[in-house]
Amino acid sequence: MRRSVNQIGRRLTLNCALAVVASACCLASWTAPVRGQEGAAAPVGTAVAPPSGLIATDHPNDTGNAIDLKWTLSPDDVPDKKPRIVRGYEIHRSLADGSDREKLTQVAYHVGEYTDRSCEPGLDYLYEVITVGLGEVRSTPATLERPVHGVLQWFDMSRAWFGVIVLLVCGAVVVFTELVKSGRNLYVREIAGLKAIEEAIGRATEMGRPCLFVPGLLDINEPATVAGITLLSHVAKLSAEYESAIDVPTSRSLVMTAARETVHAAYLAAGRPEAYSDDRITYISEEQFAYVAYLTGYMVREKPAACFYAGTFFAESLILAETGNSIGAIQVAGTNEAAQLPFFVAACDYTLIGEELFAASAYLSKEPHQLGSLKGQDAGKVLAGVLLTVGCIVATLAALIPASPVLAYSLYFLKEVVLGKGGT
């Protein structure tokens, strides 16, 4: 009996010992340190070296609300070090007297720069950069020797090339304007639609029918309306010389006033002031389709032999052009609305497409500012064409010879510095 009791006791002691050993193994596995890729244990809570060489400078080409920070990475922040000890860098900011200290952000490891874009211009700041290690261990801070503040820049030098292009185009406008004022004749390509005006007015005179001029739907403050009024001056002068009546129904009161003055001046220049009548230049309605209804009714009743449309038009363009085509009138149209050009092209005899309307205004008026502006814009288009051609050539060569650093830099320079937002 005593022997069996002793055996039971030894067995219980052995089982208890085994249980203690198993518990210790489990506890050791739970509390084992993190191991790196090479199998080495990561030293949790180990102190990390601080960064050094903190430098703060005003961010260039801004309004003074940004400061650039650069520092030398911690000696523990190396790519080939396993396990990785550095987790990032905390950036703190305070005023020059040390007050209002705050944490701005935490950047990742291997990052040695940051731009603080929340500064107030002219206010002095101090910065600190702290290395953050495993277990949220932090190093001593790297600090600035003296405060720094943002400065408002007068010029954004990163857009210098954009300024050069603007100066070239604007300078061309000024130069050509002065050339016209000095009496130099500038070549402007003749527009086919303008040559047809005299033919259309002559036909209206032969048939004994009036001419109709529609200056569009918008007011006199629109460039297309002003160009249309300039074209009206030429049409009215030819009508006075050919002794043909011209009717100008308008949808705006100011356009009516301007049209009356323009037509009156044209009749005076033609030597027939007695033939001018205010009753032929009328105000109809500012409502779009009420105005169009009057125009179509007028065309059907009076059957003008020549119809001219110059200005801004919308959905009524096809209605007017089809009505004029149905009565057999010669039609010349011009508008800056690209969506309406197909209707005028399809139903009219001649169409001034887009910028041709403004070019016609300059061509007919010979006004120095209009001619100078026209030629200056042409110079800008030539410059744009040259840059586009050079860019295509350089991009093609860079794709064919990818190993050439000269071509790669030339392509970057054209895309980002000259035509982009201004690279470095």
Dump pLDDT digits (tens) for 124-148: 999 999 999 988 899 999 999 899 9
Determine the Cα–Cα distance for residues 392 and 394; give it in Å rounded to an integer: 6
- Ramachandran region of residue 243, left (φ > 0), alpha (ψ -120 to 50) or beta? left
Does residue 37 form part of some domain? no
Q: Is residue 413 part of a domain?
A: yes
pLDDT over 60 at 239, yes or no: yes
pLDDT for 344-394, tens place per residue? 999 999 999 988 888 888 888 788 888 888 899 899 999 999 999 999 999
Residue 5 has pLDDT above 70, yes or no: no
Q: Indicate whether 31 pLDDT > 70.
A: no
Give the model's pLDDT for residue 82. Answer: 74
Decide which of 143, 170, 203 is a domain's last residue: 143
Residue 47 has pLDDT above 70, yes or no: yes
How far apart are the C-alpha atoms of 370 and 363, rounded to whole Å? 9
Q: Which domain holds residue 178?
A: 158-183+371-418
Per-residue pLDDT, 26: 43
Per-chain mean pLDDT for the chain: 87
Residue 337 CB neighbours (<10 A)? 16
> pLDDT value at position 205?
94
Give one DSSP letter per residue of 258-294, joined into a string.
HHHHHHHHHHHHTT-GGG--GGGEEE--SSHHHHHHH
pLDDT of residue 35: 40
**Exposure string (b/e) for 279-289, b if CB count within 10 Å is 16 or more?**
ebbebbeeeee
Phi and psi angles of residue 309, each rounded to the nearest 5 degrees, phi first: -125, 115
Give the pLDDT confidence score for residue 393 in this predicted structure: 95
CA proximity to 228, closest of 365, 349, 340:
365
Residue 39 lies in a domain: no
The domain boundary, picked from 143, 171, 200, lies at: 143
One domain for residues 264 and 338: yes
423 occurs within a structural domain: no
| pLDDT confidence tier of residue 41, bands split at 50, 70 and 90 | very low
| Domain identity same for 238 and 352 | yes
pTM above 0.95, yes or no: no
pLDDT band at 38 (very low <50, low <70, confident <90, very high): very low
pLDDT (tens digit per residue) in 62-74: 888 999 999 999 9
Here the contacts of 250-254 (C-beta below 8 Å, separation 24 or greater) are 250/215, 250/281, 250/282, 250/283, 250/284, 251/216, 251/217, 251/283, 251/284, 251/285, 251/286, 251/288, 251/291, 252/218, 252/219, 252/220, 252/283, 252/286, 253/283, 254/219, 254/220
Q: Is the pLDDT of residue 216 over 80?
A: yes
The distance from CA 278 to its chain's CA centroid, rounded to whole angstroms, is 46
Q: Report the pLDDT averaged over residues 90-110.
A: 92
CATH number of the domain that residue 239 is part of? 3.40.50
Per-residue pLDDT, averaged over 232-246, amounts to: 94
Phi, psi of 42 (to 5 degrees): -80, 130
Same domain, 234 and 330: yes
CA 44 to chain CA mean position, Å: 52
CA atoms within 13 A on the CB side of 303: 7
Residue 85 sits in the same domain as residue 208: no
389: three-class secondary structure by DSSP: helix
Please state the length of the chain. Answer: 424
| pLDDT score of 309 | 97
Mapped onto helix, strand or coil, the DSSP state of residue 148 is: strand
With the C-alpha atoms ordered 16, 21, 24, 26, is the resulting torsion angle positive or negative?
A: negative
pLDDT at 106: 94
With contact defined as beta carbons under 8 Å apart, do 321 and 331 qualify? yes
Task: Decide if 46 is inside a domain.
Answer: no
Buried b vs exposed e over 403-423: b needs ≥16 C-beta within 10 Å? Answer: eeeebeebbeebeebbbeebe
Question: Could you report how far apart the first and last alpha carbons of the chain are, in Å?
Answer: 97
Token pair of 18, please?
A: 């085994």
pLDDT given at position 23: 52
> What's residue 209's pLDDT?
95
Region 27-52 average pLDDT: 55
In a domain, 248, yes or no: yes
In degrees and rounded to multiples of 5, residue 211 shows phi and psi of -105, 145
Residue 328, pLDDT > 80, answer yes
Per-residue pLDDT at 263: 96
What does the pLDDT read at residue 374? Answer: 87
Same domain, 139 and 228: no
Task: Count the Cβ atoms, other than its own, within 10 Å of residue 208.
Answer: 9
230 and 377 together in one domain = no
Read off the pLDDT band of 61 (50, 70, 90). Answer: confident
Task: Report the C-alpha gap between 227 and 238 in whole angstroms.
Answer: 17
Q: What is the arithmetic mean of pLDDT over 89-101?
A: 92
pLDDT at 90 over 60: yes
Of 148-157, 212-221, 226-235, the least confident:
148-157
Section 395-408 average pLDDT: 93
What is the domain-level CATH number for residue 137? Answer: 2.60.40.10
Whether residue 3 is contained in a domain is answered as no
Instruction: Provide the 8-state DSSP code for 394.
Output: H
At residue 34, does pLDDT exceed 80?
Answer: no
Same domain, 178 and 262: no
CB 35 within 8 A of CB 92: no
**Do 176 and 219 share a domain, yes or no?**
no
Q: Residue 115 belongs to what H/E stretch?
A: strand 113-116
> What is the model's pLDDT at position 410?
93
Are 223 and 352 found together in one domain? yes
Concatenating the DSSP letter of every residue in 344-368 gives HHHHSSEEEETHHHHHHHHHHH--H
Q: Does residue 318 lie within any of the structural domains? A: yes
pLDDT of residue 15: 54
- Check whether residue 223 and residue 319 sit in a common domain: yes
Q: What is the pLDDT of residue 313?
A: 96
Which helix H or strand E contains 67, and what residues bound it? strand 67-72
Indicate whether 211 and 179 sit together in one domain. no
Looking at the structure of the chain, the number of domains it has is 3
Q: Are residues 65 and 162 in the same domain?
A: no
